[in-house]
A and B are shown apart, each in its own frame.
Chain A
């Protein structure tokens, strides 16, 4: 069965510092992988996605993520965090065949210190 683990419930970083949010998945093959951001009181917005090809994926707002098959990971990174990046971040997987279900992780809440 598919599953997604985001081991960090909360992360606090200082503005300007680098950021890495962890995501590990369990799936029989390489799934489709997504990162979403949810700002307070808002719906979710797609940051980036991976489905094939280059394992380093660029997204919006200066985010990138790297797919590592050997580690079943899809970690999200940003070189320099801005105060406006404070939000909750969700990793998700989608099946490459069969079911059209999507599985989301439990989320990581990011706090940015001025």
Chain B
């Protein structure tokens, strides 16, 4: 089954404790992206990647890191999480064309205390 998977689905952590949210896709997509969803703000793009070793900032990259060492994986790293990073995070992937459909993962709900 074609899908985007994220782990963990739920995470409660404390300020400053490094964490990684994994994202993996099995559709051989070139493009992968991370979004955060907050009430009243919709989805905001954090980072995206056009291919292996190619990443670029979205609109809200501060406090996040990403890496794209393999085509199928695009982990989101929070080196020192803060409470304002409490949010619902979505990973998405798509083929390289600008009009290609983005496929979203199920989301990761992160709470930083």
Contacts and interface: CB of A to CB of B under 8 A. Distances in A.
Interface of A: 6, 9, 32, 34, 42-46, 49, 51, 90, 92, 94-96, 99-107
Interface of B: 4, 31, 33, 35, 40-45, 48, 50, 56, 58-59, 90, 92, 98-99, 101-102, 104-107
Contacts, number: 58
Q: Secondary structure at chain B's binding surface: helix, strand, loop or mixed?
A: strand
B45 A90 contact: no
A44 B43 CA distance: 10
B104 A45 contact: yes
Contacts of A9: 40
B106 A90 contact: no
Contacts of B40: 9, 106
Contacts of A32: 98-99
Nearest to A94: B98
A104 B107 contact: no
Contacts of A44: 43, 90, 92, 102, 104
Nearest to B109: A41
28 contacts: A9-B40, A43-B90, A43-B104, A43-B106, A44-B90, A44-B92, A44-B102, A44-B104, A45-B104, A46-B101, A51-B99, A90-B43, A92-B43, A94-B98, A94-B99, A99-B56, A100-B31, A100-B48, A100-B50, A100-B98, A102-B33, A102-B45, A102-B102, A103-B45, A103-B59, A104-B42, A105-B42, A106-B40
